[in-house]
Copies of this chain bind each other. A is one copy, B any other.
Amino acid sequence: MSQRKMQMIERLRRENVRLTRQREIICAMFADHPDQHFTADALWRAFYPEDAVGLATIYRTLSVFEDVGLIKRIDIGDGIARYELADEQAMPHCHLICMTCGRVQEIDGSGMEAALKNVRTREFVVRDQTIVFHGYCSECRENERETKARGKGEIEGGGQDAKG
């Protein structure tokens, strides 16, 4: 078994996540393809029919793995969730997505300047750039501080976003 897969399984054990055949082969898939971006469907097909895993299980496993921090969800703007191995130290990187063939390339993005140079090197013509930071806004952190003693806080609502 690969070093990487071992580490992943180790992590699952630490988090008290039960290790099943399904989880193990999904683990292996990510471990063996450290820089690929998998859709749930792609995984399902990759295993079918020999090591078939129910699609629902794949979705649930991806969710678990993401919660545990084993993999990272990436959205490239087509409404289909992709997942990649959450690489050590979460080295920031960019995704180059071809608007023609849809291929996803990965490049270093520790600095915007370096990233842009990298883009040029690959002769990739940038048509649009998206930078998204996920995290916690000051208000929510404040709220959480205040309501720490109470039950679960509201997850919905608030803010200036126009989501319905």
Contact = CB atoms under 8 A, between A and B. Distances in A.
The 3 closest A-B pairs by CB, nearest first: A103-B159, A112-B112, A100-B140
A60 B99 CA distance: 20
Number of copies of this chain that the complex holds: 2
Interface string A71-91: 011111101111000000010
Interface of A: 33, 36-39, 41-46, 72-77, 79-82, 90, 92-105, 109, 111-113, 115, 119, 122-141, 143-144, 153, 155-164
Contact of A101 (B37, B129, B137): B137
A interface SS class: mixed
A7 to B, nearest CB: 20
Nearest to A92: B129
